[in-house]
Chain A
């Protein structure tokens, strides 16, 4: 919010919003996901551009909504989804890809490593947009994460249904984060950060997690 306003945009937060329904759809409960898709279209229909600090939610809207709407046979909904979904962006893709901004005037004097969240990377193809934004942040020391594109193991209900496998994937991620010596691990998705952050805290690690948006909004150390 602070970031977008700093860049001169009018930001509105429709309080009627809840959840995109990805949890339902990805768990195989399409009709529940569809109900939440209808809600999304109703709540966000009026906006020029919708931005979400979460690649997986955006991927749900852009990739799965059209499919859900099509399967449901609801032509009106499909029309609405087709009209609105392309205007929904993940934060870094909006900044770099649409607005053409890389330097957002942020300052963040910390040693940071970046985890590339799966949906941003492979569904939305945001590529290195988050890294471009991070590189332009003042004072930041960005260290590369080995196998940064490997899944952290969250995967929604997967983390509960197959908790052990999810935990093993997380352990591999934590090992690589530790190897960077970073104080902070950032990503564009809160769900990955919840998984990684939960793992770091369990280990009693020095490193913490921080969302990409928090870094970009930060003006820490600027006098």
Chain B
């Protein structure tokens, strides 16, 4: 389905839009406050961007450094060219442990490659332990936000879902009671799990340390209780040095949840005897990322640290929600990441799903110039063809605008042929304009005519 059609359906869902408006407005205010506290926020953003650019510029070498460090600390590193390869590696590792159930930390990388589905095919149940992910999983729903996957749901809807699935029939919509229901359901699974699966927010090349931030403590459970821990990370998550973590861990929580630091910041380096998992596997996922690196403009999208600040300020996202993007990466960052990670034709309309208002670029903690990338990707989408009508229109317009005589003729024609223009506009390809607004009046005299005749 195209974005336009998916958006049409989303716009009709008034409940979802109310939920989303309320939620994004709240997070926006929290972020604003948390960012406002930091005196040197702008230099910090610049430093964040620099760190990611440095990592990306030398990614091949850095990844080998990371591999060496992880291996030296007793972990094992696996390289996956694409999602299928990563899924196969994880499946094999889980099967080797002889289990049919794994607990999972919220992870976009594993969602991107549909790991849960792949594990299910092998008879392995992957249990999402993040509350919102659990809600999505229990409802057989789709995520609609990077940080808050069930942002499109309200409390009453979640109460009804829990009553149907994991909770008592008299469950109320009190948040504490809802959380307790999930906690009881999950606790049992944490305790019996022998394999945990996570993503990574950052991986430090020089030390081999992996970092996951989260709010609920479920991640800490998954990464410490099971005997085997498998982490799947996109290769762009790498940062070169330990000290870079300081910058990143200031930028991420404030941009993301509007907190000074996340309630749980878990860091681990390989394995430690007598503490935590006995085996640690790090799966390095490419899945299109090296192709993105090859585009000197588009590669800036790989700086993304998945904070979702851009979603929360985006007016397009606020009105249509995450599902309309049909990607695990929705909103402004999704519009530049999804078409690059997948084949362009799959999400070719996403770069056009923006008014280029720039609110996203203003809040991005690693200064991704999202509007610029959108425009760049529009160009790439145009090159792929399928936009012939628009191409012709643009050529014609350029012709008109390249000559004073033709430009003034067109102005005069618009003035005299107003009725015709109006009808063409209403019924032609531009007719959609007319659904919610009138065409501007054509003035009786153009500015330049006034200019020429003024005393």
> Could you give, for residues 375-389 of chain B, a 1 whenever the CB lies within 8 Å of some chain A CB and a 0 otherwise?
111111110000000
Q: Of A15, A26, A27, A121, which one neighbours B448 at CB under 8 angstroms?
A: A15
In the complex with contacts A151-B357, A154-B355, A169-B319, A15-B437 CB distance below 8 A: no
**B432 near A163: Cβ-Cβ < 8 Å:** yes
A29 CA / B316 CA spacing, docked (Å): 23
Q: Which of B395-416 contact A (CB under 8 A)?
A: 395, 397-398, 400-404, 407
In the complex with contacts A155-B357, A158-B355, A167-B435, A197-B402 CB distance below 8 A: no
**B398 near A35: Cβ-Cβ < 8 Å:** yes
Residue in chain B with minimal CB distance to A34: B398
**B316 near A165: Cβ-Cβ < 8 Å:** yes
A19 CA / B320 CA spacing, docked (Å): 32
**A18 near B402: Cβ-Cβ < 8 Å:** yes
Contacts of A159 in B (CB 8 A): 355, 433
Among the stretches A92-100, A103-111, A133-141, A198-206, the one at the interface with B is A198-206
Residue in chain A with minimal CB distance to B353: A162
- A49 at interface (Cβ–Cβ under 8 A)? no
A160 CA / B4 CA spacing, docked (Å): 11
Contacts of B295 in A (CB 8 A): none
A194 CA / B315 CA spacing, docked (Å): 19
Contacts of B361 in A (CB 8 A): 122
Please indicate which of the listed interface residues B315, B402, B436 has the most CB atoms of chain A within 10 Å of its own CB.
B436
Please indicate which of the listed interface residues B380, B382, B394 has the most CB atoms of chain A within 10 Å of its own CB.
B394
Write the nearest CB–CB distance from B174 to chain A, whole angstroms. 31
Contacts of A153 in B (CB 8 A): 315, 355
Overall SS of chain A's interface: helix
How many residues of B sit at the interface, in one of the four size bands? 35 or more
- A195 at interface (Cβ–Cβ under 8 A)? yes
- A25 at interface (Cβ–Cβ under 8 A)? yes
Write the nearest CB–CB distance from B75 to chain A, whole angstroms. 43
- Seen from chain A, the residues whose Cβ lies within 8 Å of a Cβ on chain B are 1, 13, 15-19, 21, 23-30, 32, 35-36, 39, 67, 118-119, 121-123, 149-151, 153-172, 194-195, 197-199, 201-202
**What are 16 A-B contacts defined by CB distance under 8 Å?**
A26-B375, A28-B375, A28-B381, A32-B394, A118-B358, A151-B357, A151-B359, A158-B355, A159-B355, A160-B430, A160-B433, A162-B352, A163-B436, A198-B440, A201-B438, A202-B437
